[in-house]
């Protein structure tokens, strides 16, 4: 057979396959459901994917979730003295509806709220300190920044309004084949423009002053993403929304959501690391061919492989995050996409704070600030310093003042040296350091996000992180790929990439 006849036959086959698929669209029941689905990674993304896949495909399909580490991934806790503390992803926004739904569905509870207070440190002194009195904060901000801080709220609300549309689309079963299409469905060209501009450019365009951006906005992007206001406008808006009031965590630790979702979805957890994925073509009963994905993995009991109809990758395909070889794909799928993950070192110290480090003369016994953010000053060593509470708040708990030995969490771009620790703390009895490749390094050069669809039935969840990284973003992406996998399996093209959903769904309500 010559190459030419070969490609002609391939084209014909493809054409037939396409018409076959289209005729199935009106009678989706004709297509057998998939038998086996693999999910790679058991963080919030992978476990939420297992949950939504079960919801879409029903009880008949076997779902395997691969995880070599601890279920939860970047949601993790550490024990210090007598209590456990969050050391990765911590706070959840009150409008994160998927996280809220999971907690309710799994019978978990939000952690009891302990009022927090914020301050801003410029490397020498505290330039702002929140008072217990709202009215004092209001006038202090008004005095310094005019109405900028009120406008900030309005701007975040307008972005959030559009963001919230995704929940309605997903409720109606709509899915999107790329990050750009998903963002466009939520916020139109406006959201794509946010991805094309830095937060700084966006806010200058909205009329915010450079001083306000440096003094108030930069500390927020530094604590949330360890980066400056040169991150893209979309993740910037998510970051600023993440400084809202009403933030919460899960009682007993956020990672309980992940193990809960695994259990609830009746998936099997395979404690192994996936090393490679390849396509295998097999003849089927009806005389045509079927293709499967062969997933190879290494666990404690050695290496093995299994065949799957559908595979969801729920770990970043980036340097230092995972190392999966894709073979037999055309066009090829890379192990690592362009761009890097940002290093954030999280240091939990059970110790006594050195008040003079903060350049304040306030007595430590009166100092009850919980979150100290920092400005982007020359040679600033830390991104933030927070007094943190355990994952379960005991009855009658009150956050101790700075005069007591307690647990502080420091975020920094590099590991703290002994000398730096000695400068920040007077004394300590334990230090626990975690080096996270925490979230993407958001510049504009990688604004072309990786695809959701890597191959026919092979999907990639973490590409949405390049718009913004958060628990809720992984949950939204999980539901999107579960819907996408379902609709593509059954040829329901009418539920993929629909334009104008906003106006159409208004009619359906």
Ligand X SMILES: *[C@@H]1O[C@H](CO)[C@@H](O)[C@H](O)[C@H]1NC(C)=O
Nearest distance from C-beta of residue 419 to ligand X, angstroms: 10
Residue 449 interacts with, from ligand FAD, ligand X, none (CB under 5-8 Å by kind): none
Q: Which is it for strands 118-121 and 62-66: parallel, antiparallel or unpaired?
A: unpaired
Q: Which is nearer to ligand FAD, 119 or 461 (CB)?
A: 461
Q: Report helix, strand or coil for 352.
A: strand
Among 177, 196, 276, 360, binds ligand X (CB under 6 A): 196
Instruction: Find the part of the chain contacting ligand X (CB under 6 A) among 32-40, 84-92, 189-197, 497-505.
Output: 189-197
Q: Does the footprint of ligand X cover residue 375 (CB under 6 A)?
A: no
Nearest distance from C-beta of residue 40 to ligand FAD, angstroms: 5
Nearest distance from C-beta of residue 379 to ligand FAD, angstroms: 22
Q: Which is nearer to ligand FAD, 24 or 437 (CB)?
A: 437
DSSP 14: H
Residue 91 interacts with, from ligand FAD, ligand X, none (CB under 5-8 Å by kind): ligand FAD
Backbone φ and ψ of 368, nearest 5°: -120, 20
Residue 75 interacts with, from ligand FAD, ligand X, none (CB under 5-8 Å by kind): ligand FAD
Nearest distance from C-beta of residue 357 to ligand X, angstroms: 4
Nearest distance from C-beta of residue 240 to ligand X, angstroms: 21
Q: Are the beta carbons of 97 and 167 closer than 8 angstroms? A: yes
Residue 90 interacts with, from ligand X, ligand FAD, none (CB under 5-8 Å by kind): ligand FAD
3-state secondary structure 128-182: EECCCCHHHHHHHHHHHHCCHHHHHHHHHHHHHHHHCHHHHHHHCCCECCCHHHH
Nearest distance from C-beta of residue 29 to ligand FAD, angstroms: 33
Nearest distance from C-beta of residue 105 to ligand FAD, angstroms: 18
Among 189, 268, 323, 429, binds ligand X (CB under 6 A): 189
Q: Are the beta carbons of 105 and 264 closer than 8 angstroms? A: yes
CA distance linking residue 6 with residue 13, whole number of Å: 11
Among 228, 357, 443, 446, binds ligand X (CB under 6 A): 357
Q: Are the beta carbons of 292 and 282 closer than 8 angstroms? A: yes
400-404 — which CB contacts under 8 Å span 24+ positions?
Answer: 401/364, 401/365, 401/366, 401/367, 401/368, 402/353, 402/355, 402/364, 402/365, 402/367, 402/368, 402/369, 403/352, 403/363, 403/364, 403/365, 403/367, 404/352
Q: Report helix, strand or coil for 13.
A: helix
Q: Which is nearer to ligand X, 333 or 369 (CB)?
A: 369
Among 354, 360, 498, 502, binds ligand X (CB under 6 A): 354
Residues that bind ligand X (CB under 6 A): 189, 192-193, 196, 354, 356-357, 378-379, 423, 426
């Amino acid at each position: 057979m010559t190459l030419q006849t070969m490609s002609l036959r391939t084209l014909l086959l493809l054409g037939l396959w396409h018409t076959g698929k289209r005729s199935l669209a009106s009678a989706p029941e004709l297509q057998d459901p998939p038998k086996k689905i693999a999910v790679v990674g058991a963080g919030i993304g992978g476990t939420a994917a297992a949950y939504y896949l079960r919801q879409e495909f029903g009880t008949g399909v076997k779902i395997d979730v691969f995880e070599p580490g601890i279920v939860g991934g970047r949601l993790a806790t550490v024990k210090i003295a007598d209590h456990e503390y969050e050391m990765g992803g911590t706070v959840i926004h009150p409008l994160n509806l998927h996280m809220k739904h999971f907690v309710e569905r799994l019978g978990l509870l939000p952690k009891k709220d302990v009022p927090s207070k914020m301050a801003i440190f410029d490397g020498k002194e505290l330039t702002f300190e929140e008072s217990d009195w709202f009215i004092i904060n209001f006038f202090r901000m008004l005095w310094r920044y005019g109405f900028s801080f009120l406008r900030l709220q309005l701007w975040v609300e307008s972005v959030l309004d559009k963001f919230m549309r995704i929940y309605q689309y997903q409720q109606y079963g709509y899915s999107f084949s790329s990050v750009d299409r998903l963002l466009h469905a939520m916020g139109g060209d406006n959201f794509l423009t946010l991805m094309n501009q830095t937060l700084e450019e966006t806010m200058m365009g909205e009329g915010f002053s450079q001083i306000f951006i440096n003094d108030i906005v930069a500390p927020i992007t530094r604590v949330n993403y360890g980066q400056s206001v040169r991150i893209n406008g979309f993740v910037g808006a998510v970051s600023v929304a993440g400084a809202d009031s009403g933030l919460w965590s899960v009682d007993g630790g956020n990672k309980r959501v992940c193990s809960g979702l695994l259990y609830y979805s009746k998936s099997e957890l395979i404690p192994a690391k996936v090393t490679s994925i390849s396509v295998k073509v097999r003849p089927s009963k009806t005389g045509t061919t079927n293709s499967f994905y062969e997933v190879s993995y290494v666990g404690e009991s050695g290496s093995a492989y299994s065949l799957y109809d559908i595979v969801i990758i729920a770990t970043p395909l980036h340097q230092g995050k995972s190392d999966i070889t894709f073979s037999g794909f055309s066009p090829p799928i890379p192990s690592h996409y362009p761009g890097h993950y940002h290093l954030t070192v999280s240091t939990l110290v059970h110790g006594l704070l050195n008040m003079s480090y903060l350049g304040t003369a306030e007595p430590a016994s009166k100092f009850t600030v919980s979150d100290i953010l920092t400005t982007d000053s020359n040679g600033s060593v830390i991104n933030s310093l927070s007094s943190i509470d355990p994952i379960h708040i005991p009855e009658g708990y009150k956050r101790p003042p700075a005069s007591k030995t307690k647990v502080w969490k420091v975020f920094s771009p590099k590991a703290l040296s002994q000398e730096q620790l000695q400068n920040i703390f007077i004394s300590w009895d334990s230090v626990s350091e975690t080096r996270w490749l925490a979230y993407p390094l958001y510049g504009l050069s990688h604004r072309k996000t990786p695809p959701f669809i890597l191959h026919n039935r092979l999907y990639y969840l973490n590409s949405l992180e390049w718009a913004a990284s958060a628990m809720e973003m992984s949950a939204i992406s999980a539901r999107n790929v579960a819907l996408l996998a379902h609709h593509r399996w059954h040829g329901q093209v009418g539920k993929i990439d629909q334009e104008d959903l906003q106006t159409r769904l208004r009619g359906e309500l």
